[in-house]
Amino acid sequence: MAMYGATMDFFFYGTLLDSDVRRAVLGRAAERLALEPARLSGYRRIGGRRSGVPALVAHSQGAVEGLLARGIEKSELLRLDRYEGRGYRRIPVPVVTEAGARVAALVYLARKQRTARGADWSLKAWQRRHKRRWQRAIVRWLAATRG
């Protein structure tokens, strides 16, 4: 699938790794996406102190495990952009799938770069500490962005 054709490929590394969050953000489209484990080299994933939201920071020896999501359509791209907000921008990056294929994908990077000194972000820790609150926020976000 092409990165900028009828559909796009994305690398998910944070809250979108959680299937409940993906469904809330992407709706039914989340079920039809082709998902596969992938790795992004040259970055570390750190967590925000208060929000628990992860960000990527450049790190020459770093690598981030995530999901390659194939088949994002333009309507879903708009939902992802709204979900990520103005604090993030989309950039193309090369990721490597579990099978060893090198794939061009889009990823959201924080506009305001953080330092690599933050603590590593963990999906399991985020699910324990922040997921319930995050799900309530997504419901409010969906209500505010419909239309």
**Residue 12: phi, psi to the nearest 5?**
-100, 130
Q: Using CA atoms in the order 54, 46, 4, 36, what is the torsion angle rounded to 10 degrees?
A: -90
Q: Using CA atoms in the order 94, 103, 85, 147, what is the torsion angle rounded to 10 degrees?
A: 160
Q: Which CATH number applies to 8-145: 3.30.70.890, 3.40.50.300, 3.10.490.10, 3.30.70.1450?
A: 3.10.490.10
User: Which stretches of the chain are assigned E, i.e. beta strand?
Assistant: 8-12, 34-47, 54-72, 88-97, 102-110
The per-residue pLDDT for range 28-42, each reduced to its tens digit, is 999 999 999 999 999
Q: According to the model, what pLDDT value does residue 40 have?
A: 98
Domain ranges of the chain: 8-145
Q: According to the model, what pLDDT value does residue 4 have?
A: 53
Question: For residues 51 and 1, what is the distance between their CA atoms, to the nearest angstrom?
Answer: 34
The three-state secondary structure class of 126 is helix
The per-residue pLDDT for range 16-28, each reduced to its tens digit, is 999 999 999 999 9
The per-residue pLDDT for range 48-98, each reduced to its tens digit, is 766 678 999 999 999 999 999 999 999 899 999 999 988 899 999 999 999
